[in-house]
Amino acid sequence: MKTIPEHVAIIMDGNGRWGKLHGRSRSEGHYAGSKTMEELIDASADIGIRILTLYAFSTENWKRPAEEVNYLMSLPVKFFNQKLPEFMKRNIKILISGDIENLPNKTRNVVIKAMNETKNNTGLIVNFALNYSGRNEIRQATIQIIKDVKENKISIDQLDEKMLENYLYTRNLPDPDIVIRTGGEKRISNFLMWQSAMSQLCFVDELFPDFKQPLYIKALERVQQGDGASVSLIQRM
Ligand code: IPE
Ligand code: IPE
Ligand code: MG
C-alpha cells in the first residue's frame, strides 16, 4: 500500500444473505459477520490505520423481525465481554457513534463499559456506528446548536463547518478517507451523511462474512490505485 489511509469506514452488509446461502439463519450470518469484524480490526491495527468505523446497526434496522433485532442487540454483549481484555492489550480504543440512550440496558451498559475502559488507549480507534442514522445525527446537532444559540453559548456568525462538526457523534475524528460497502448494493443507507462528502467510495460484491483480511487489503489497494476516485466496483476478486 502506497499510503496508509487514516480513517476507513465499512458498511458491513450481506450477513443475512450469507446465512441463507449457507443453509443457516440470518442470525448465524450475523455471528459469522462478527468474526470477520474481529479479523478486520486486527488487520487495521496491523496496517497502522488510525480509525476504523464499522456500521453495525442503523436506526432503520429496528424494523426487522424481533428475533433478529434481539440477536443483533445481544451480539455486542458477547463481543465486548470476550474481546475487551484483548483490546486493552492491543491499546485499542472503542468509540460509539449513535443513539446509545435508546439501546436495551444490557447493550447500552456493555458499550459504555467498553468506551470507559479503553478511553486512555492510544492505538487504533474502533468507532462502532450503533443505532446510527446520519440524518438523525444532523437533526440532533441542529437542535443542540439552536439551544446553544438561544443560551448565548455560541453566535450564529460563528457557526462554520468546523463548529458544526463538533455537534456530530464523530466530533474530533477526521472524515473517512474511504467508505467500503460489502454485499453488492450501491447505497449509502444513511451512513455518515455529512462526513463522507469527500470520501472515496468502494463497493464490493462479496457478502460481509467473506470479506476477510486479503480482500480488505485488496480493496484498500484498489482504491489507492485510483479506481476509487469516485466509485470503484470490485468485481468478484
Ligand atoms: C448486515 O447485513 C447488516 C446489519 C444490519 C447488521 P444484513 O443483515 O443487512 O444482510 P443482508 O443485506 O440482508 O444480506
Ligand atoms: C446497512 O445495511 C446498515 C448496516 C450495515 C448496519 P442494511 O442492509 O440495513 O441497509 P439497506 O436496507 O440495504 O439500506
Ligand atoms: Mg442488508
Per residue in 79-101, pLDDT (tens digit) is 999 999 999 999 999 999 999 99
Q: Is 133 in the pocket of ligand 2 (CB under 6 A)?
A: no
For position 232, what pLDDT does the model report?
43
Q: Is 131 in the pocket of ligand 2 (CB under 6 A)?
A: no
Q: Is 196 in the pocket of ligand 1 (CB under 6 A)?
A: no
Question: pTM for this structure?
Answer: 0.95
**pLDDT tens column, 22-46:** 999 999 999 999 999 999 999 999 9
Residue 95 C-alpha cell reads as 468509540
Q: Is 189 in the pocket of ligand 2 (CB under 6 A)?
A: yes
For position 1, what pLDDT does the model report?
82
Task: Kindly report the protein residue whose alpha carbon is nearest to atom 13 of ligand 1.
Answer: 16
Confidence tier at 236 by pLDDT (50, 70, 90): low
Instruction: Specify whether the CB–CB gap between 234 and 203 falls below 8 A.
Output: yes
| Inside any domain, residue 41 | yes
Ligand 3 centroid from CA 38, angstroms: 19
Q: Which atom of ligand 2 is nearest to the CA of 208?
A: 5
Which residues span the domain enclosing 82?
7-234
Q: How many domains does the chain have?
A: 1
CB under 8 A, 24+ apart: contacts of 158-164:
164/194
Q: How far is CA 78 from the centre of its chain?
A: 18
Q: Rounded CA gap, 33 and 54, in Å? A: 12
Confirm whether 160 is a catalytic residue. Answer: no
What are phi and psi for residue 206, nearest 5 degrees? -60, 145
pLDDT(231) > 50? no
Q: Which atom of ligand 2 is nearest to the CA of 60?
A: 9
Confirm whether 61 is a catalytic residue. Answer: yes
Instruction: Specify whether the CB–CB gap between 102 and 29 falls below 8 A.
Output: no
Q: Rounded CA gap, 220 and 228, in Å? A: 9
Q: Is 185 in the pocket of ligand 2 (CB under 6 A)?
A: yes
**pLDDT tens column, 176-218:** 999 999 999 999 999 999 999 999 999 999 999 999 999 999 9
For position 234, what pLDDT does the model report?
54
Which domain CATH number covers 122?
Answer: 3.40.1180.10
Task: Kindly report the protein residue whose alpha carbon is nearest to atom 3 of ligand 1.
Answer: 13
Ligand 1 centroid from CA 65, angstroms: 12
| Inside any domain, residue 1 | no
Q: Is 131 in the pocket of ligand 1 (CB under 6 A)?
A: no
Confidence tier at 2 by pLDDT (50, 70, 90): confident
For position 225, what pLDDT does the model report?
86
Instruction: Specify whether the CB–CB gap between 92 and 54 falls below 8 A.
Output: no
**pLDDT tens column, 132-168:** 999 999 999 999 999 999 999 999 999 999 999 999 9
Q: What is the mean pLDDT of residues 173-178?
A: 98
Residues forming a β-bridge with 94: 126
pLDDT(237) > 80? no
Confidence tier at 229 by pLDDT (50, 70, 90): very low
| Inside any domain, residue 2 | no
Task: Kindly report the protein residue whose alpha carbon is nearest to atom 12 of ligand 1.
Answer: 14
Q: Which of 10, 11, 17 to mutate to test the pocket of ligand 1 (most atoms within 8 A of CB)?
A: 17
